[in-house]
Amino acid sequence: MPSTLSWLHPFWAFALPIAMSFPLGWLMWRSLDVPEDRAGRGLDALPMFLRRLIDRRPPAKMDWRRYAFAMLAFNVALFVLSFALLYFQDKIPLLNPDGKGPLTTLGYKDAAGVQHDGADTAVIFNTVCSFVTNTNLQHYSGEQNLSYFSQLAAIVWLMFVTPAAGLCVMLATLRGLRGDKDMGDFYVDLMRGLLFVIIPYCLLVAVLLVGMGVPMTFEKAATAATIDGAATKMETQTIARGPVAALVAIKQAGTNGGGFFGPNSAHPFENPSPWSNMLALVSIIVLPMSSIVMAGLMLKNRKHAMVIYGVMLAFLAAGALIAIRAEVEPSAATRGLPVVQGPNMEGKEVRLGPVAAATWSAITTATSNGSVNSMHDSLNPIAGAVPMSLMMLNVVFSGIGAGFENMLMYIVVAVFIAGLMVGRTPEYLGKKVEAKEVKLAMLAILIHPLLICAGAALFAATDWGAKTTANPGSHGFSEILYEFTSAAANNGSGFEGLADNNPAWNIATGVVLLLGRFPALILPLAVAGFLSTKKRVPQTTGTLRTDNLTFAGMLLGTVLLVGALSFMPAVVLGPIADHLSALKH
């Protein structure tokens, strides 16, 4: 059984970010929601100056349409530039001491088992879609395929600006919900988010990581003499390294998740100790938590924000407890064998153990971070169902800004259902919720299961997916289902065991990545824009309150009901069937 000390890990993984989220949320509110009479003064002069480098005109007063267009235009520019950088990687002489070639699939087998070698831009398309959407789904191995310049100028750069873009949309949405006439300037919000929130936090985390032993260098890969070289016929070993600490800091703090190394946070250079593991866990979730606190301050409705915070925390705590409980049980593969029966250590790092691995699997998928410190394919089936389920719900803190956007759609639906139950016109924050807002909310909610279930069904029924799984039956289906769930939820983690670096998977998941990201940001922004133009109605004794336990239960039930109806058949065919099959054997 795990040691007593190992049980302190999940306790501190929850306690520290919860405690930090309140002062950080206040700081985010003060630095990002700047009143018009203080804009451009003091420290705020710097983001205003940087914004004028993009466009010399004064900051614009954007409605939701102009704000959405600016966000989309910015992301199109990111896509084109990042694609060019990765496509011409081998032609760029900067920071490429190991002589990395172009980012290609390097060889793959198609459904008929035929080997294909040579350049393939599908993996570049998938990579750019992944990082532009703040997902970081990786069908390549960073230390093998990317130069230091590509890691910094394409990957790390996108890791900074894409979570900042999600935070911008949240800020605009909150302004609309409180009734502001304009929703701000996207580029000003972007600069403020980077300068006052993301960069300072990442700088602090990177320094701490270097102190814990994470490499930060531009030297080429090290060559070491092996101890048993004569016996293994391998006299030397090449050890990849690079500016790892800089990437790991933003990878965790920006809910990105893409690793410098293929094994991600299971690699000792990214995550050398339990202390670095704890720092990473705190960094994964603290800014998404803080953004909910900021929302309460911006809306001047802290109780409502705490309802949202509490519902999200309840989902996360339940998921972590279920995953930990499942992982302290032996693996089904060892049952009945003459070996000591202990917790499931398959796919785990010994220095971390099953409790830390299960805690990480819940937190990383609740927050759309996607980094891993264990092999999710090796989790016991019920533990594997937890990260899959959290991504399917996609409302548990989720990405910076994106988590609130996703939950807002469920709030609109919960308010609508409650209004029907009592025979009143639904109201939210003093504004009437009418057919237009409900239709947009339902569209945003239904796109998510459509992308997951349609994609998984297509690949499970064809050789595109059936011949790329490492396992047969329900476990193989879980691998396919997890991949589409991760892409649609903009998470980026992988169940692994899946041969997904081929054109079919790269193109399909790339399209899902784009469709899972941008409608989920724009539709809530549109809802807030429509609500901002409506007159505030007076509150009466019959008004539905959204700041008490009754509404918390209503919201919790709405998320579970919609989630169960959308995903239960797929989960039954995957991890639940896998669990029942393991019990039989």
Count other C-beta atoms under 10 Å from residue 220's C-beta.
15
Confidence of residue 540 (pLDDT cuts 50, 70, 90): confident
- What is d(CA 319, CA 312) in angstroms, rounded to the nearest whole number? 11
- What is d(CA 500, CA 483) in angstroms, rounded to the nearest whole number? 9
Q: Which residue has the higher pLDDT, 560 or 121?
A: 560
Side-chain-facing half-sphere of 237: CA atoms under 13 Å: 11
* Alpha helices (runs of H) in 147-301, residue ranges in sequence order: 148-149, 157-177, 186-193, 199-211, 229-232, 244-253, 274-299
- Looking at residue 181, what is its pLDDT? 84
Q: What are phi and psi of 105, to 5 degrees?
A: -75, -15
* pTM for this prediction: 0.92
- Looking at residue 423, what is its pLDDT? 76
Q: Which residue has the higher pLDDT, 344 or 480?
A: 480
Count other C-beta atoms under 10 Å from residue 335's C-beta.
13
Confidence of residue 4 (pLDDT cuts 50, 70, 90): low
Find out whether 353 and 297 touch, Cβ atoms under 8 Å.
no
Tens of pLDDT along 166-212? 999 999 999 999 999 889 999 999 999 999 999 999 999 999 999 99
* Alpha helices (runs of H) in 254-301, residue ranges in sequence order: 274-299
Q: Is the pLDDT of residue 110 over 70?
A: no
Side-chain-facing half-sphere of 339: CA atoms under 13 Å: 11
- Looking at residue 115, what is its pLDDT? 59
- Looking at residue 112, what is its pLDDT? 52
Find out whether 415 and 383 touch, Cβ atoms under 8 Å.
no
Strand partners, 225: 236
Q: Is the pLDDT of residue 2 over 60?
A: no
| Average pLDDT estimate for 431-437 | 91
- What is d(CA 447, CA 469) in angstroms, rounded to the nearest whole number? 26
| Average pLDDT estimate for 105-109 | 54
Confidence of residue 282 (pLDDT cuts 50, 70, 90): very high
Find out whether 276 and 210 touch, Cβ atoms under 8 Å.
no
Strand partners, 115: 109
- Looking at residue 383, what is its pLDDT? 92
Q: Which residue has the higher pLDDT, 332 or 407?
A: 407
pLDDT exceeding 90 applies to what percent of the chain? 58
The pLDDT mean for the chain works out to 88
- Looking at residue 107, what is its pLDDT? 55
User: Angle at CA 578, nearest 5°, toward 574 and 581?
Assistant: 145
Highest mean pLDDT among 65-74, 106-115, 575-584: 65-74
Give the CA-trace dihedral at 79, 83, 89, 91, to 10 degrees.
-110
Confidence of residue 359 (pLDDT cuts 50, 70, 90): very high
Tens of pLDDT along 439-477? 999 999 999 999 999 999 999 999 999 889 888 889 999
Q: Is the pLDDT of residue 573 over 70?
A: yes
Find out whether 438 and 410 touch, Cβ atoms under 8 Å.
no
Q: Is the pLDDT of residue 361 over 70?
A: yes
- What is d(CA 13, CA 323) in angstroms, rounded to the nearest whole number? 15
- Looking at residue 211, what is its pLDDT? 94
The domain locations on the chain are 5-584
